[in-house]
Amino acid sequence: MKKIILLLTILFNCMSCAAQKSKIINEPKSVIKSGSKKGSKEKAEMNSGFEIGDLAPDFTLNNENGIAETLSKYRGKYVLIYFYPKDDTPGCTAEACSIRDNINNFKQFEVKVFGLSADDETSHKKFIAKYNLPFSLLADTKKEVAKLYGADGIFIKRISFLIDKEGKFAKLYPNVNPSQHAGEILADLASLTQ
């Protein structure tokens, strides 16, 4: 019975994320004043405490092949870190496939893409093979990076961070629509690189 409830919760989590309207925090740090309603609401929604312009915390996690990936290794490039609840579930698959289908557009902006969930390397490898995903999935099995980035919970939350070439947050995405997220990020990249 517990397994059925767990599976239903995962399914609901991924499907409900797909129905949420996407919202991006686009205000620079200097505009969000402590105590202001807008800044407080955005921080509460993101639950990370991060703001645009903050330095992204460094981390190292293994990818699907057991190779350690360190965020700071990619300074000089944009990095997309997208957190998602579970491999091979409806919303998570829609999000991964949307990014996959737009990977050439991400490459034009020299973006390194990492998906993160609490699934292990073996699960990630199967997910990548099943859907031909051309980017790495990082195994945060202890949810340490998810906690660091405010994405932890019973299931990892579906949130994303676009990190600029200097290692600072360029965009924060507290509410992600899995099927539209890739387009949203690419539009932001276009405006950031003009």
Catalytic status, residue 92: yes
Distance CA 63, CA 188 (A): 26
Identity of the amino acid at 138: L
Element (H, E) at 115: strand 111-117
Active-site annotation holder among 14, 17, 92, 97: 92
Give the number of other CB atoms < 10 A from CB of residue 172: 25
Distance CA 32, CA 74 (A): 28
Taken in order 18, 96, 13, 26, is the CA torsion positive or negative? negative
What tokens were used for 178?
């899995």
Catalytic annotation, residues: 92
